[in-house]
Amino acid sequence: MLLPLPLLALTFGLFDGAAAQGSVTDYAPTTNVKCPAAPLVRVFTPQNQSLHPQEQAYISTRESTILPDAWKEWIGDGSGIGYNASVVQAMQGNWSRIGIAISGGGFRAAQYGAGVLSGLDARNESAKAAGTGGLLQVASYLSGLSGGSWITGSLYMNNWLTIKDMVFGNGGNLSGWLLDLNLAAPAGIDLFNQDNQYFFGSLVWSTTRSNFFTNDSAHGAGQLWSQIPETPAFQQYIPPFPIVMSDSRPVGSNLTTALTPEPVVYEMTPLEFGSWDPNLSAMVNMSFAGTHFVNGTPPNDTACVTGFDQAGFIMGSSASLFNQILDFGTNTLTGFSSQDASGLLYVLSRQLQEVRTRANDVANWPNPFQGLKSQTFEDSSSDWLELIDGSSNAENVPLGQLFVRARGLDVIVAVDSSADQSTTLWPNGSSIVASSNRMSTILLASHQKFPPIPQTPADFISTGVNRRPTFFGCNPTQNPPEYPMVIYFPNSPPLNGENPVTNTGTFQIAYTPIHTRIFIDQVHNNTIGGFLPNTTSPDPNFGKCLQCAAVDRARYKLSPMPPRSDVCSQCFAQYCFDPWNPPSQNELPGRQFAFVDPDPQGVSGALSFFAKNKAALIGGFVGLFVAIALLVTFLIWWKKRKHREAEYSVVKDLHDDDDAALLASVGLDKYELKPRRRGFFKGGDRSAFSFGF
C-alpha cells in the first residue's frame, strides 16, 4: 500500500490548501472543526441518480472547451478512418464519452497501467505516431483500483505528468519512482500526534500515513485527495476526472475469504466518498470524510473532521490486501532495516495497549452513512466502515464506477493486469466475468448493462481474447445503445514472441530500473501494436482501429445515423468479439508465456524476504491467524522489556535524525521541502523503481 512517488518542487498549490489545516508535514486529521451549514451528505435512489454539481461542471466544461481540439488532434478530419468531413463535423458536440479503468495487482498493476497509458498518450511520440496516442486526451474519466490507484494518484497529485517523467524522472528536479523500503517509520514529524490516536485503529491507517507518496521527507503528508481540484492541470481541465474504488467488509463479519458480490462497493473522488450501489446510494463531501454523521448530520456544529482524506490513505484504502503481508511478515523482522523494524513494532504494539473495538486488518472509516437506508444498507447501524482491497469481490478492474447510469459513458477501456492463471500469472478474464455478473444482478437498477463477453474464464482463454486487445459490444441492437463498448487491454505476452517480463507476482515488491524499463516498454509496444492474426507482427493499422472504436458510439447520437465506414468495418471484423462467431487462441502463434527475469541479480533484501514467505502469505488464511497469534506473543514479550517512553524515543529519534540530516543538507526548513534525488551508482546499484504497496 505504500507508494514512493515523486513530487515536483512546486507542489501545485497543495501546500497552500494544507496550510489551512496545519503544517505541510501533518498526517493527522483536524478534529472539532466547525461544520458548514450546507448539507454534507446527499442521498438518492438508483432511479434518481445525479452527479455532484462540480463533477458535472468539470465534465461539461471539459467536453465543450478541451475535447473538441483533442478529438481533432487525434483523428483529424476523419478521412484516415474512412469518414468524410461532414460526418466528423456532425459529431462535434456528440463525441463518445470515454472512461479508462486500471486494474489492481500490486507493483505489476501500477507498471502495467503506466505502460498502457503511455501507449494512449499523445504526449508520447511513438504512441502518437502509431495513432493510439490521443485516446487518453479525449477520455473523461480515469478509475483505479489497488495497484491501479497508485498510478492514478501519482498522476493527479503530481499535476498530470507524462509517464516517462513520472516513472524515470526528468534529469532535473524529478527523480522518478524509487523504492525506499522505509515502510513503517516515516520521516514526517507527527506520527504520534494526539489527533491521530482516535483514528489509529487499523494497520492500513497507521502504515499508509507514511505512504511514501513523495520522495521528500514529509512523505506526502498534508496532500489531500480533495485538493486535486486545486492543481493547475485540473483547473485547466486537462486530465480526466479521477475515481478510486474500494470494497467493504460487513462490519463485525471478520471475513477472511473472498467477498461475495453483495457488500457495498465504495468510490472516492476529489469531491465525494460513497456508493452508487442500490443498497446505499449516498455520498458524503470528501473534505469532511472522517466525520461521524447520523442520519446525514454531525452530532453538533463543531464535530466535523477535515484532513482525513490523505492521498496515501485513499490509495491504501483501495489496496489493503498488503495488510495480510504485514500481519504475517512482522513476526520475522530480520528482513527489514532497524528503522522499519522499530516503526513496525511501535505500530503493532499500539494494538496491545488498549482493547480494540475495530478491526486491525482493514481501512477504518468513520461511517458517514449511519442511520441511512436501514432496510437495505447492512452497515447502517455501524459507527465505522471496514474498507478493504478493491479486488476482494473478484472485480479486479474498476468498471462499476464507469457503468453508473448518471455518468453516461459510451466507451470504457478496461486495463487488466490480473494474475489469474496460477503458473504463468496472466489474466483469464475472471474480473470481467465477475463485473458482468454483478452488473446484471445487484446493479441492474443503477448501472448500464454489460456488453456480451465470453461467459467463463475458460472461454476467455480458448478464444484468445485474454492475449490481445479486444472490443466488446460493437453491435448494439438499440439506439441509444443498451450498453457501452468495452475496449479490453489484458496483460499479455509480447506479440513479437519475446520473453515476457510483465507477468510478475502480486507480492513482488521491488523492481530494478532495468526490469521496470523493459516492463513498461513491453506493455507500451503491445498497446500500440494490436495484433495481426496468425503472425507475431504488430498491426500497423491498430491506431486507426482504436480510433474507430472510440468514435463509433458517436454515430448513434446523429440523426440520421451514418453507416460505419469500410475502414472501421474491417477493423471491427478483426478486433470485435462476436459471441456467435468467436475467435480462437490459435490465431496468436509464437507467444512465450513463462516469465523470464530480465535482471536476475537485481534483488533487494526485502524482495528476498517476501519471496521466502510467499507460500505462507497466499497459502491460506489459517496460516495468517496462526502468524498473528505468534506475533502477539512476540510483542507481549517485547513490551515487557521496554517502557513506552523508550518506544517513542527510538522512533522519534529516527524521525528527527532523518529530517535534520535531509533539511540541513539542502539548507531548507520544513516548509520548503523538495524531493530527494537519488542517482544510480556505478557497478550496478540496484535501487529499484517502486509502484507501491
pLDDT in tens, 90-113: 999 999 999 999 999 888 999 999
Q: Looking at residue 643, what is its pLDDT?
A: 44
Q: Looking at residue 266, what is its pLDDT?
A: 94
Spatial distance between the Cα atoms of 90 and 228, rounded to a whole number of angstroms: 34
Residue 630: inside a domain: no
Q: Looking at residue 220, what is its pLDDT?
A: 54
Instruction: Give residues with Cβ within 8 angstroms of 563, minimum separation 6.
Output: none
- The total number of residues shown for the chain amounts to 693
**Confidence tier at 635 by pLDDT (50, 70, 90):** low
Helices (H), 52-186: 53-65, 67-75, 85-91, 106-119, 125-130, 135-138, 147-157, 163-168
- Which grid coordinates are listed for 33? 472543526
Is the Cα dihedral 65, 132, 549, 564 positive or negative? positive
Residue 72 phi, psi dihedral angles, 5° rounding: -65, -40
- DSSP helix/strand/coil, 415: strand
pLDDT, average across residues 406-416 = 98
Q: Looking at residue 682, what is its pLDDT?
A: 31
Residue 31: inside a domain: yes
Q: Looking at residue 11, what is its pLDDT?
A: 25
Residue 31 phi, psi dihedral angles, 5° rounding: -100, 170
Can you list the pairs that 638-647 forms with residues at least 24 positions away whose Cβ atoms lie under 8 Å? 638/345, 638/349, 639/349, 639/352, 644/353, 647/345, 647/346, 647/349
C-alpha distance from residue 463 to each of 432, 454, 531 (Å): 15, 8, 14
Number of domains making up the chain = 1
- Which grid coordinates are listed for 527? 498497446
Spatial distance between the Cα atoms of 126 and 132, rounded to a whole number of angstroms: 9
pLDDT, average across residues 565-584 = 98
**Confidence tier at 181 by pLDDT (50, 70, 90):** very low
**Confidence tier at 116 by pLDDT (50, 70, 90):** very high
pLDDT, average across residues 376-396 = 87
DSSP 499: P
Residue 535: inside a domain: yes
User: Which has the closest alpha carbon to 225: 245, 202, 204?
Assistant: 245
- What DSSP assignment string belongs to 152-216? HHHHHHTTS--HHHHHH--SSS----------S--S-TTTT-HHHHTT---HHHHHHTT---SSS
User: Which has the closest alpha carbon to 115: 351, 107, 156, 91?
Assistant: 107
Q: Looking at residue 255, what is its pLDDT?
A: 66
More confident residue, 581 or 332: 581
pLDDT, average across residues 527-555 = 98
User: Which has the closest alpha carbon to 35: 296, 399, 341?
Assistant: 296
Are 191 and 651 in contact, with CB atoms under 8 Å apart? yes
pLDDT, average across residues 661-667 = 45
Q: Is 342's pLDDT higher than 80?
A: no
Least reliable range by pLDDT among 28-37, 288-297, 589-598, 620-629: 620-629
Helix 513-529 vs helix 106-119: angle between axes, to the nearest 10 degrees?
Answer: 50
Instruction: Give residues with Cβ within 8 angstroms of 55, minimum separation 6.
Output: 241, 269, 271, 272
Q: How many other CB atoms are there within 10 angstroms of residue 408's CB atom? A: 13
Spatial distance between the Cα atoms of 654 and 62, rounded to a whole number of angstroms: 46
- Which grid coordinates are listed for 406? 448518471
More confident residue, 197 or 247: 247
Are 514 and 598 in contact, with CB atoms under 8 Å apart? yes
Q: Is the omega angle on the peptide bond into residue 480 within 30 degrees of 0, that is, cis? A: yes
**Confidence tier at 274 by pLDDT (50, 70, 90):** very high
Q: Is 536's pLDDT higher than 90?
A: yes
- Which grid coordinates are listed for 216? 521528500
**Confidence tier at 676 by pLDDT (50, 70, 90):** very low
Residue 319: inside a domain: yes
pLDDT digits (tens, 9 = 90+) for 640-663: 445 444 443 443 444 444 444 444
Q: Do β-strands 41-43 and 304-306 pair in parallel, antiparallel, or remain unpaired?
A: unpaired
Q: Looking at residue 330, what is its pLDDT?
A: 33
pLDDT, average across residues 28-52 = 95
Q: Looking at residue 289, what is its pLDDT?
A: 94
Residue 106: inside a domain: yes
pTM of the prediction? 0.80
Is the Cα dihedral 503, 242, 525, 510 positive or negative? negative
Are 300 and 397 in contact, with CB atoms under 8 Å apart? no
Spatial distance between the Cα atoms of 463 and 465, rounded to a whole number of angstroms: 6
Q: Is the omega angle on the peptide bond into residue 533 within 30 degrees of 0, that is, cis? A: no
Least reliable range by pLDDT among 9-23, 380-394, 531-545: 9-23
- Which grid coordinates are listed for 1? 500500500
Are 389 and 418 in contact, with CB atoms under 8 Å apart? no
Residue 638: inside a domain: no
Amino acid at residue number 68: P
Mean pLDDT of the chain: 79
Residue 679: inside a domain: no
pLDDT digits (tens, 9 = 90+) for 467-508: 999 999 999 999 999 999 999 999 999 999 999 999 998 877
pLDDT, average across residues 147-158 = 90
Spatial distance between the Cα atoms of 463 and 482, rounded to a whole number of angstroms: 24
Q: Is 350's pLDDT higher than 80?
A: no
Q: Is 670's pLDDT higher than 50?
A: no
Q: Is 65's pLDDT higher than 70?
A: yes
Q: Looking at residue 520, what is its pLDDT?
A: 96
Are 568 and 576 in contact, with CB atoms under 8 Å apart? no
Percentage of residues in the chain having pLDDT higher than 90: 57
Domain span including residue 132: 14-326+346-596
Amino acid at residue number 425: L
Q: How many other CB atoms are there within 10 angstroms of residue 260's CB atom? A: 12
Q: Looking at residue 433, what is its pLDDT?
A: 97
Q: Is 381's pLDDT higher than 60?
A: yes
Name residue 294's beta-bridge partners: 297, 370
- What DSSP assignment string belongs to 326-367? HHHHTT-GGGS-HHHHHHHHHHHHHTTSS---S-SSSEEEE-
Residue 68: inside a domain: yes
- What DSSP assignment string belongs to 236-285? TT-SPEEEEEEEEEPTT----SPPPS-SPEEEE-SSEEEE-STTT-EEEE
Name residue 283's beta-bridge partners: 42, 274
- Which grid coordinates are listed for 614? 510467499
pLDDT digits (tens, 9 = 90+) for 187-241: 443 444 555 544 444 444 444 433 433 434 444 556 899 999 999 999 999 999 9
| Residue that the C-alpha cell 520473453 belongs to | 499
Spatial distance between the Cα atoms of 147 and 149, rounded to a whole number of angstroms: 5
Cα 56–Cα 58–Cα 60 angle in degrees, nearest 5: 65
User: Which has the closest alpha carbon to 327: 627, 18, 664?
Assistant: 627
CATH of the domain at 227: 3.40.1090.10
Least reliable range by pLDDT among 154-158, 208-212, 591-595: 208-212
- Which grid coordinates are listed for 605? 533484501
Spatial distance between the Cα atoms of 54 and 529, rounded to a whole number of angstroms: 37
C-alpha distance from residue 368 to each of 72, 304, 572, 615 (Å): 44, 11, 46, 38
